Amino acid sequence: MTDATATMQAVVCHAPNDYRLESVARPTAGPGEVILKIGACGICASDVKCRGGAEMFWGGNGQPAWVKAPVVAGHEFFGEVIEMGPGAEEHFDVRVGDQAIAEQIVPCGKCRYCDSGHYWMCEVHNILGFQHEVAEGGMAEYMRIPAKARLHRIPESLSLAQSAFIEPLACGIHAVNRGDIQLDDTVVVAGAGPIGLAMVQVAHLKTPKQLIVIDMIDERLELAKRFGADVVLNPARDDVNARVKELTGGYGCDVYIEATGSPTGVRQGLEIIRKLGRFVEFSVFGKETTVDWSIIGDRKELDVRGAHLSPHTFPVAIDLMARGLVTTDGIVTHELPLAEFEEGFRMATAAESIKVLLVP
C-alpha cells in the first residue's frame, strides 16, 4: 500500500497559460481503482489549445467551462499497474506488473447515452486530465484510474513509443470508421499531424481506390506517402481543388476526413468533396468556424459525421500495433523529461516535431 504522505512530480494546469511543475500528493487506490506508474504521456493538440485558453475548454461565447482547475494535465498516457484497490483485479482484469492504458472518458454509467451503450457521449462527460473531481491526468509520475474508467492491458512486446501512441491511434481509427470507406472511394485525409498520420495508415488498411493526404509541411507529406498515401498535396503550392477534381473525373472525393484543426480545413473540404459525399469532422477547434451551410444541404446533400474520442477502438489499436500494421516510426519524434514540459509544449506546435512525449 502506498504511503498516504508520499508526493510526486506533476504538471498542474491552473489556468490558461499557467501550467506548473509541482510536488503533489501521490495517489492511492480506493475500491475498484488502480494506480499506474506512468511510462509516458503525449502532448495532444487539444492540450496545447487548452493551455492557450480556447473557449471550448475554458468557457465563454455561451459555452460552459469544461476544465475544472487545478488539475494534473494529460490524457495520452500509459503505465505499469503498481497498486490495486479492493476488487480492482476482477473489475479490470489486470494484475500488478501489467502495462495498461485507460480511455480518456470516465463514463457516468447512468445517463441516456451510457444506458444505451454510447458511453463515449456520456452527458456528464468527465475526461481524464481535465476535471480534478474525477481523476487527475497522466503528466505525472503516478496516476489513479477510477473504478468507472475503461482500462486495457498492453502487450509487453510494445515499445514505450507504441504504447504512448495507442490513444491517438484509437481516435484515428474511430474517425476513419465514421467515413465508411468503400473499395472504390477516393479518400482525403486533411492534416498530417500525429492523429492524421494514424488515420492515413488505417485508411490505407481499408484499401480505398485512392488515398490523398493534404498538409502544409512537406516532411509530414513524405511520411504520409510512406504510410500508403497515393497522392500528397501542399496547399502552399498545389491547387488542391483542381488536383482533387482532376483525380476524380471532375466530381471530387467521396470521403473527406478533417484533421487540420483549422477553419480553412473545413472550408477546403466542403469545396473538394463530391455531391452525396461523407464529410467526417474530427478536429478540436480553437475558435469558431463559419461556412456556407447551403453547400451541405442544397448544393451537395452531404452526409456530415462527427468523430469524438475512441469508442471500442482501444483493443483494435493495440492489436494493429502488436501485429505491426501501424507504426510510430517518424511520428513520435521527441521524448522529454517531465521537468522540461515547457519545452515539450513549445515543440508540440513546432514544425520540427510531430508527437512529443513527456517521460517521468
pLDDT value at position 60?
Answer: 72
Name every residue whose Cβ is closer than 8 Å to that of residue 16 and which is 6 or more positions away in sequence.
Answer: 50, 51, 52, 53, 58
pLDDT value at position 1?
Answer: 53
Please write the tens of the pLDDT for every residue from 145-155.
Answer: 999 999 999 99
* Residues 204, 325 contacting (CB under 8 angstroms): no
Domains along the sequence of the chain with CATH: 7-164+328-359 (3.90.180.10), 169-306 (3.40.50.720)
How much is the mean pLDDT over the chain?
Answer: 95
Q: What is the H or E stretch that residue 314 is in?
A: helix 314-322
Longest dimension (CA), the chain: 68
**C-alpha cell belonging to residue 105:** 472518458
pLDDT value at position 178?
Answer: 98
The rounded distance, in Å, linking the Cα atoms of 274 and 252 is 4
Query: Which residues does the chain have with pLDDT short of 70?
Result: 1-4, 62
* Beta strands 355-359 and 34-42, pairing class: antiparallel
The rounded distance, in Å, linking the Cα atoms of 15 and 313 is 32
Q: What is the pTM of this model?
A: 0.96
